[in-house]
Amino acid sequence: MEKSLEARKNKVQIDPDEPVYVISVASKICRIPVWTLRELEKKGIIKPKRIGKKTRCYSMMQIQKLEYIHYLMEDRHVNISAIKFVLEQSV
C-alpha cells in the first residue's frame, strides 16, 4: 500500500499557471513581506488571482517571478519602480 501511495504522489502534476498559494504562503516562500506583495500588485508588477473578494492566490510561475523580484530588491538594491521597468524591458 505504501508503494502505491508513493507512486500516486509522483504522478500529481500541478499546472504552473494554476494559482494555489495564498498571500501568506507566497510571502514565506519568496521572503517578501505581505505589504510588499500588495504594493507590487498596486503597481501592476504582479497580478494574483482573486478568490472571492479578498483572497489573493499566486501560481508557481508568479512565485518564480517573485523570487526574481526578491533577488533584485535584496541583492541588487532595486526599488519597486525600477523593478517594474526592468521587468517591462525583459518581456
Alpha helices by DSSP H, listed for the chain, are 2-11, 23-30, 34-42, 60-74, 80-89
Say if 62 falls within a structural domain: yes
* pTM for the full predicted model: 0.83
pLDDT of amino acid 6:
65
pLDDT of amino acid 90:
84
What's 56's domain CATH number?
Answer: 1.10.1660.10
Name the CA dihedral angle for 32, 67, 19, 53, rounded to a multiple of 10 degrees.
30
Name the CA dihedral angle for 34, 37, 41, 44, rounded to a multiple of 10 degrees.
160
Structural domain span for residue 83: 14-89
Number of domains in the chain: 1
Say if 7 falls within a structural domain: no
Say if 68 falls within a structural domain: yes
Question: How many whole angstroms from its chain centre is CA 60?
Answer: 6
Rounded to the nearest integer, the mean pLDDT of the chain is 91
Say if 5 falls within a structural domain: no
Say if 58 falls within a structural domain: yes
Say if 51 falls within a structural domain: yes
From the list 40, 14, 18, the residue with the least C-alpha distance to 27 is: 40
What is residue 49's DSSP assignment? E
Say if 31 falls within a structural domain: yes
Q: How do residues 15-57 score in pLDDT, each as one tens digit?
A: 999 999 999 999 999 999 999 999 999 999 999 999 998 899 9
